[in-house]
Structure 1
Amino acid sequence: MKQKLTWWQIAKQGLTYLFMLGLSTFPSEAVAETFRLREATIAEINQAFEKNALTSEQLVQLYLNRIEAYDDQGPKINGLISINNNALKEARELDQERQQKGPRSPLHGIPIILKDNYDTTDLPTTGGSVLLEGSLPPDDAFTVKKLREAGAIILGKANMSEFAESYGRLGYSSLGGLTRNPYKLTRDPSGSSGGSGAVIAANFAVLATGSDTSGSIRGPAAVAGLVGIKPTQGLVSRDGIIPLTLSFDSAGPMARTVTDAAIALGVMAGVDPNDYRTLESVGKTYKDYTQFLNKKALKGARIGVAIDFRGGNPEVDAATDAAVAKLRELGATVESVDFSPKLENLWPFMEEVTEAEFEPQIDSYLKNLQLPFPDTLREMYSMSLSNPLVNSEQALNPGRVGGFGESLKHPELADTEYLYIIHFEFPRVRQEILSIMSAQNLDAIIWPTMTCPAGPLYNIEDPTYQCASNDPYIPGYLANVSGFPGISVAMGFTEQGLPLGLTFFGKPYSEPTLLGFAYAYEQATQFRRPPTTTPALPGENFDY
Structure 2
Amino acid sequence: MTWTVDEQLALTATEAVAAIQTGRLKATDYVATLLARAAALQTLNALTALNMEGALAAARHIDSLSAQARAALPLAGLPVVIKDNINTTGLLTSAGTPALDGFVPDNNAPSVQRLLDAGAIVLGKANMHELAFGITSTNLAPHAGAVRNPYDPGLIPGGSSGGTAAAIAARITPAGLGTDTGGSTRIPAALTGIAGFRPSVGDGGAERRYHDPNAVVPISHTRDTVGPMARTVADLALLDGVITGDGPLPQVTLTGLRIGLPAPLWDDLEYALEDVARAALKQLEAAGVTFVPVAMDQLLDLNAQVGSAIAIYEAREDVPAWLVANNAPVKTVAEVAARIASPDVRDAYDAILANPFANQYQTALTVLRPQLQQHYADTFAVHQLDALLFPTTRLCAVPIDPLAGSSTVSINGAAPINEMNAFLRNTDPASNAGIPGLSLPAGLSAEGLPVGLELDGPRGSDRRLLAIGVAFEQLLGALPAPTL
Q: TM-score, with normalisation over the residues of structure 1?
A: 0.81
Counterparts of 1:464 and 1:59 in 2: how far apart (Å)?
43
**Distance apart, 1:241 and its partner CA:** 1.1
Choose which of 76, 81, 85 in structure 2 pairs with 1:117: 85
Counterparts of 1:420 and 1:316 in 2: how far apart (Å)?
36
Choose which of 241, 259, 275 in structure 1 pairs with 2:234: 259
Identity fraction in percent:
30
Counterparts of 2:33 and 2:113 in 1: how far apart (Å)?
25
SS in structure 1 of the partner of residue 455 of structure 2: strand
SS in structure 2 of the partner of residue 346 of structure 1: helix
Counterparts of 1:55 and 1:287 in 2: how far apart (Å)?
28
Query: Does structure 2 retain, via aligned residues, the 8 Å contact 1:147–1:267?
Result: yes
Provide Cα deviations, 1:55-114, integer angstroms capped at 9, x if missing partner. Answer: 1111100001101111x2xxx111000011311011101211244733342311110000
* Residue identity in the other structure for 1:226: I
Choose which of 324, 344, 367 in structure 2 pairs with 1:399: 344
* Residue identity in the other structure for 2:432: V
Choose which of 260, 283, 293 in structure 2 pairs with 1:326: 283
Provide Cα deviations, 1:361-400, integer angstroms capped at 9, x if missing partner. Answer: 00001112436x111111222344xxxxxxxxxxx00221
Instruction: Trace 1:125-144 onto structure 2 (pairs within 5 A).
Output: 125-144=93-112
SS in structure 1 of the partner of residue 378 of structure 2: helix
Counterparts of 1:475 and 1:513 in 2: how far apart (Å)?
21
Counterparts of 2:339 and 2:323 in 1: how far apart (Å)?
14
Match of 1:272 in 2: none
Question: What is the aligned length?
Answer: 465
Choose which of 69, 89, 104 in structure 2 pairs with 1:101: 69
Q: CA RMSD in A?
A: 2.4
* Residue identity in the other structure for 2:211: S
**Distance apart, 1:47 and its partner CA:** 4.1
* Residue identity in the other structure for 2:47: L
Counterparts of 1:458 and 1:87 in 2: how far apart (Å)?
34
Query: Does structure 2 retain, via aligned residues, the 8 Å contact 1:358–1:407?
Result: yes
Counterparts of 1:378 and 1:158 in 2: how far apart (Å)?
25
Query: Does structure 1 retain, via aligned residues, the 8 Å contact 2:298–2:375?
Result: no
Choose which of 330, 335, 342 in structure 2 pairs with 1:374: 330
Provide Cα deviations, 1:194-235, integer angstroms capped at 9, x if missing partner. Answer: 001000000111211011101000000001111111010111
Query: Does structure 2 retain, via aligned residues, the 8 Å contact 1:312–1:472?
Result: no
- Structure (1 or 2) with the larger CA radius of gyration: 1
**Segments of 4+ moved more than 3 angstroms:** 31-35, 50-53, 168-171, 460-470
Counterparts of 2:243 and 2:95 in 1: how far apart (Å)?
20
Query: Does structure 2 retain, via aligned residues, the 8 Å contact 1:259–1:293?
Result: no
TM-aligned CA distance change 1:143 to 1:463, over 3 Å: closer
Match of 2:48 in 1: 81
TM-aligned CA distance change 1:344 to 1:474, over 3 Å: farther
TM-aligned CA distance change 1:335 to 1:185, over 3 Å: same
Counterparts of 2:476 and 2:133 in 1: how far apart (Å)?
33
Match of 1:23 in 2: none
Match of 1:475 in 2: 426
TM-aligned CA distance change 1:341 to 1:88, over 3 Å: same
Query: Does structure 1 retain, via aligned residues, the 8 Å contact 2:269–2:411?
Result: no
SS in structure 1 of the partner of residue 71 of structure 2: coil
Counterparts of 1:403 and 1:492 in 2: how far apart (Å)?
34
Query: Does structure 2 retain, via aligned residues, the 8 Å contact 1:187–1:456?
Result: yes
Counterparts of 1:336 and 1:512 in 2: how far apart (Å)?
24
Choose which of 257, 260, 265 in structure 2 pairs with 1:304: 260
TM-aligned CA distance change 1:32 to 1:164, over 3 Å: closer
**Distance apart, 1:245 and its partner CA:** 1.1
Query: Does structure 2 retain, via aligned residues, the 8 Å contact 1:262–1:515?
Result: yes
Q: Give the stretch that moved more between structures: 432-441 or 469-478.
A: 469-478
1:434 is the counterpart of 2:377: yes
TM-aligned CA distance change 1:342 to 1:39, over 3 Å: same
Query: Does structure 2 retain, via aligned residues, the 8 Å contact 1:302–1:333?
Result: yes
Query: Does structure 2 retain, via aligned residues, the 8 Å contact 1:292–1:515?
Result: no
Instruction: Trace 1:524-535 onto structure 2 (pairs within 5 A).
Output: 524-533=475-484
Counterparts of 1:258 and 1:128 in 2: how far apart (Å)?
27
Query: Does structure 2 retain, via aligned residues, the 8 Å contact 1:121–1:137?
Result: yes
Match of 2:312 in 1: 355
1:292 is the counterpart of 2:260: no
Match of 1:510 in 2: 461
Query: Does structure 2 retain, via aligned residues, the 8 Å contact 1:194–1:220?
Result: yes
Counterparts of 1:39 and 1:100 in 2: how far apart (Å)?
26
1:421 is the counterpart of 2:364: yes
SS in structure 2 of the partner of residue 367 of structure 1: helix
Q: Give the stretch that moved more between structures: 303-312 or 228-237.
A: 303-312
TM-aligned CA distance change 1:326 to 1:467, over 3 Å: farther
Counterparts of 1:322 and 1:81 in 2: how far apart (Å)?
38
Query: Does structure 1 retain, via aligned residues, the 8 Å contact 2:80–2:174?
Result: yes
* Residue identity in the other structure for 2:183: G
* Residue identity in the other structure for 2:262: A
Match of 1:42 in 2: 13
Query: Does structure 2 retain, via aligned residues, the 8 Å contact 1:479–1:486?
Result: yes
Provide Cα deviations, 1:476-502, integer angstroms capped at 9, x if missing partner. Answer: 112111000011100111111110100
TM-aligned CA distance change 1:356 to 1:467, over 3 Å: farther
* Residue identity in the other structure for 1:402: D
Query: Does structure 2 retain, via aligned residues, the 8 Å contact 1:227–1:490?
Result: yes
SS in structure 2 of the partner of residue 445 of structure 1: strand
Unaligned segments of structure 1, at least 5 residues:
1-30, 270-285, 385-395, 534-544
Counterparts of 1:190 and 1:98 in 2: how far apart (Å)?
41
TM-aligned CA distance change 1:532 to 1:383, over 3 Å: closer
Match of 2:212 in 1: 238
Provide Cα deviations, 1:6-27, integer angstroms capped at 9, x if missing partner. Answer: xxxxxxxxxxxxxxxxxxxxxx
* Residue identity in the other structure for 1:365: W
1:68 is the counterpart of 2:39: yes
* Residue identity in the other structure for 1:525: L
Unaligned segments of structure 2, at least 5 residues:
202-207
Match of 1:337 in 2: 294
Match of 1:158 in 2: 126
Counterparts of 2:409 and 2:354 in 1: how far apart (Å)?
38
Counterparts of 2:85 and 2:10 in 1: how far apart (Å)?
26
Counterparts of 2:257 and 2:169 in 1: how far apart (Å)?
30
